[in-house]
């Protein structure tokens, strides 16, 4: 349909605001038919990247391709094929939600009437209220309904659920899933990790304007540790000799430790030898991915790189 394997391709993107470097050689490739998570702490450059991608900002250096074309030059034509929901939706105080949905739909070149009605109902949105009287969550619903009811190939969502309650968030996830299943593509920026874990096929993590990691969630799990608690028949021995074991605590027959996910197999083999009575393990979460990236360890590496380049 699009004829492009990668609806979004960004490499070496640099954007400066005055003396501040907001993006410092960022790379991002999004594959057709996938939901791509775009993760990073506040101020790391997620929104700036999206705004360059949408042709609001001009790139200072690097290559940016949207559907294989230049988003700065071809902005309006390319926008016909996508819908964007900003993190902070601002509506016109004297236009109703329903009017805004129709306006944005018309500007995108048409709206699916049936889906519009269904979405308004599923999101429990009152379309007759004026923009000034909506809460943050309801303003986001207006933008989401407008985006999801349009006939587009790509959704660009910038922290789209930060004001939604859990029920509405699951409605949102359902629709985004269905959008992907019909062969379309989603770029979802977030710092809500559960959301990304729930939805995304691939993830890129950015920090200080650079991509520090990209891959499937499975690819990224090698960076994380699984935490394990076990109750055994005999006090365990030899765990401390295993590679990749951290924060080991042994209290008689009870033990708890963290293990690099890659070494999990060996650790469990040791535990089995002492007779397992109960075992709980927590899988790695993206929270931990973040901690690794923004904790003490990775930044020193990054600093080395910066120094190395100079």
Residues that bind another protein (CB under 8 A): 51, 54-58, 75-77, 79-80, 82-84, 86, 88-93, 95-96, 98-104, 106-109, 126-130, 132-133, 143, 156
Q: Report the nearest approach of another protein to the CB of residue 93 (Å).
A: 7
Q: Report the nearest approach of another protein to the CB of residue 96 (Å).
A: 4
- If you search the block for the tokens 């799990």, which residue do you land on? 221
* End-to-end Cα, the chain, rounded Å: 44
d(CA 224, CA 283): 9
- Among the listed residues 82, 89, 15, 99, the one whose alpha carbon sits nearest the alpha carbon of residue 52: 15
**Nearer of residues 92 and 247 to another protein, judged by Cβ:** 92
**Nearer of residues 89 and 171 to another protein, judged by Cβ:** 89
Q: If residue 202 lies in a helix (H) or strand (E), which one and from where to where?
A: strand 202-207
CA-based Rg of the chain, rounded to a whole angstrom? 23
d(CA 132, CA 58): 32
Q: Report the nearest approach of another protein to the CB of residue 26 (Å).
A: 17
* Six token digits for residue 102: 């129709």
**Nearer of residues 80 and 191 to another protein, judged by Cβ:** 80
* Six token digits for residue 16: 């400066």
Sign of CA dihedral 67, 72, 74, 78: positive
Q: Report the nearest approach of another protein to the CB of residue 13 (Å).
A: 14
d(CA 80, CA 239): 59
Q: Report the nearest approach of another protein to the CB of residue 278 (Å).
A: 45
d(CA 12, CA 71): 16
Do 188 and 160 contact (CB within 8 A), yes or no? yes
Q: What is the DSSP letter of 222?
A: G
**Nearer of residues 148 and 212 to another protein, judged by Cβ:** 148
Q: Report the nearest approach of another protein to the CB of residue 170 (Å).
A: 25
Q: Report the nearest approach of another protein to the CB of residue 54 (Å).
A: 5
**Nearer of residues 103 and 268 to another protein, judged by Cβ:** 103
**Nearer of residues 185 and 226 to another protein, judged by Cβ:** 185
Percent of the chain as helix, strand, coil, to the nearest 5: 40, 30, 30
Q: Report the nearest approach of another protein to the CB of residue 7 (Å).
A: 15
Sign of CA dihedral 223, 161, 123, 185: negative
**Nearer of residues 87 and 236 to another protein, judged by Cβ:** 87
* Six token digits for residue 48: 């700036």
**Nearer of residues 103 and 298 to another protein, judged by Cβ:** 103
């Amino acid at each position: 349909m699009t004829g492009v394997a990668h609806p979004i391709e960004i490499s070496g993107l640099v954007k400066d605001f005055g003396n501040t470097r907001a993006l410092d050689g960022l790379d991002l490739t999004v594959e057709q038919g996938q939901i791509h998570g775009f993760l990073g702490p506040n101020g790391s450059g997620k929104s700036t990247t999206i705004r360059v991608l949408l042709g609001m900002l001009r790139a200072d250096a690097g290559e940016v391709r949207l559907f294989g074309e230049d988003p700065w030059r071809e902005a309006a034509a390319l926008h016909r094929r996508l819908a964007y929901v900003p993190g902070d939706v601002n509506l016109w105080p004297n236009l109703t939600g329903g009017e805004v949905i129709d306006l944005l739909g018309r500007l995108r070149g048409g709206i699916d009437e049936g889906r519009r009605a269904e979405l308004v109902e599923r999101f429990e949105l009152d379309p007759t209220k004026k923009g000034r009287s909506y809460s943050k969550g309801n303003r986001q619903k207006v933008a989401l309904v407008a985006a999801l009811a349009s006939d587009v190939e790509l959704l660009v969502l910038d922290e789209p659920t930060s004001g939604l309650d859990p029920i509405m968030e699951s409605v949102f996830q359902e629709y985004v899933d269905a959008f992907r299943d019909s062969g379309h593509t989603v770029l979802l920026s977030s710092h809500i990790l559960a959301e990304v874990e729930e939805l995304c096929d691939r993830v890129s993590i950015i920090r200080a304007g650079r991509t520090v990691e990209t891959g499937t969630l499975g690819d990224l799990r090698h960076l994380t540790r699984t935490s394990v608690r076990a109750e055994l028949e005999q006090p365990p021995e030899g765990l401390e000799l295993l590679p990749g074991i951290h924060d080991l605590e042994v209290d008689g027959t009870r033990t708890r430790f963290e293990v690099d996910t890659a070494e999990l197999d060996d650790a469990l083999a040791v535990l089995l030898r002492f007779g397992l009575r109960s075992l709980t393990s927590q899988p790695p979460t993206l929270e931990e991915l973040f901690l690794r990236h923004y904790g003490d360890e990775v930044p020193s590496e990054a600093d080395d790189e910066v120094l190395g380049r100079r």
